[in-house]
Amino acid sequence: MLAGCSSRTASPEARYAPAGDLLDIVKDFQRLAKEDTYRFAIPKDVTGVNIMKATLVRLDDYERKNAGKFTDIIQFNKALALERLREYAEATVLYRNVSETGGRLGAEASKNLEALESFLNILDKPLPTEDPFQYIRGLDEKVAAWNHLIEKHQGTTYEFLARGEEERIDRAKVAFVEANRFRLKDGNQLVILGYSQLITKHRQSKNIYRFIIDFGDFYGLLAKEYAAQYDPEGLSFELKAFDQFAKSALKLYTEVVQVDGIVEKIEAQGKIEAMRGLNEKVTRLSR
């Protein structure tokens, strides 16, 4: 991929000095760019900065200082960084430029361009807004389309990029049902089912603990709504019903707290304390 850096004939200084600078920029980037960003967060460089964003800045700087040098290599690596950041439209422009040069990277750029164009076709397809069920059906159609691309690109970086897009649709579907739960028959149960399916399907995702906390938050919301609807000091309040919601929330938060080395652990610990405090208050009032 970087062979083009040493393909020009010139004096040793002109030939190798600029290429060495460019090689320093892209060598670690190209290695880290292969990381599965569905399962893992975008890697950081040695300074602790998002490697995709940092590489774009460094390539821009190199390009300003070395106008006209190694254009295809710079544009190709920029496109790689942009697609990992989900800036697919910008990436396609650069891949198209590289594919039209006829250089060594042209064939690979054309292949990547084709993949990203199929991504954009799904993303750009409008969703029906007239009816909530039609909207959900539109989301399901997009999930099916992403599934097709996951299978098509299995074993490549475009597989995990497609998985990430599928995951976003799955999460959006749960959020939509949650926002419209009072308009839907058995809306709360549909939300619970949606979260359960989301967590089961995307257990390998880097966002799994975020999803588990969100699921716990929904149970916490149900507990608060129940306590607001039925006065804990009144006769209609049933502690068992409230307790079921509270315990479900605590169970999910506890699952996150038991995992070391994740940023969500502190958040989950705080939510456990808050839920225990609410539980204790409501229990005392209900006696």
Task: Write the CATH number of the domain with boundaries 130-286.
Answer: 1.25.40
With a cut of 90, say whether residue 47 has pLDDT above it: no
Instruction: Lowest mean pLDDT of 65-74, 119-128, 162-171, 261-270, name the range.
Output: 65-74
With a cut of 60, say whether residue 11 has pLDDT above it: no
* 148 half-sphere exposure, CB direction, 13 A CA radius: 11
Each domain of the chain, given as residue ranges in start order, spans 3-118, 130-286
* Residues above pLDDT 90, as percent of the chain: 81
Instruction: Lowest mean pLDDT of 21-30, 173-182, 187-196, name the range.
Output: 21-30
pLDDT in tens, 239-267: 999 999 999 999 999 999 999 999 999 99
Instruction: Lowest mean pLDDT of 5-9, 69-73, 233-237, name the range.
Output: 5-9
pLDDT in tens, 117-136: 999 999 999 999 888 889 99
pTM (predicted TM-score): 0.88
With a cut of 60, say whether residue 112 has pLDDT above it: yes
Do domains 3-118 and 130-286 share one topology? The answer is yes
Return the CATH class of domain 3-118.
mainly alpha
At residue 5, the pLDDT reads 46
Across the chain, mean pLDDT equals 91
